[in-house]
Amino acid sequence: MMKSLKRNVNGTYSWVINVEALSKNLTQLMDSIFPYPSFKQIDVPTLFIKGEKSNYIHSGGVHELPGFFSNYTIAEVPNAGHWLHAENPGSFMNILESFLNSTQRES
């Protein structure tokens, strides 16, 4: 924890996050959270929806998904950032409804 605390010039403290270290060690971190193999692989249909202008789901993270989700889809809402459901509700709902309808046909 102390490695994540930084003293500022004015004497206050801030939390810092080493994103590179977290990214490089994602598998080991997940192993500590989900120590049993049966909890690691999620095999139900899973939908990740991202906004075209958002960087919350980036290419580095996408490469890790198959290790945790065996049946996933990534959809992108055009002209939307992180608040995609508010910025482009029509496209968001179309994507969501299409996914839900496809999973109902599978079951």
What CA–CA distance (Å, rounded) separates 92 from 78?
9
The dihedral over CA atoms of 52, 83, 90, 73, expressed in degrees to the nearest 10, equals 60
Domain that holds residue 10: 2-106
Give SS3 for 25: coil
| Mean model confidence pLDDT for the chain | 84
> Using one digit for the tens of pLDDT, what is the confidence trace for 70-95?
899 999 999 999 999 999 999 999 99
Does residue 37 have a pLDDT over 80? no
Number of domains in the chain: 1
More confident residue, 100 or 25: 100
Return the CATH number at 53: 3.40.50.1820
Whole-prediction pTM value? 0.61
What CA–CA distance (Å, rounded) separates 58 from 89?
22
Burial 74-104 (b: 16+ CB within 10 A, else e): ebbbeebbeebeebbeebbeebeeebeeeee
Cβ neighbour number for residue 23 with a 10 Å cutoff: 13
- The number of CA neighbours under 13 Å toward the Cβ of 53 is 10
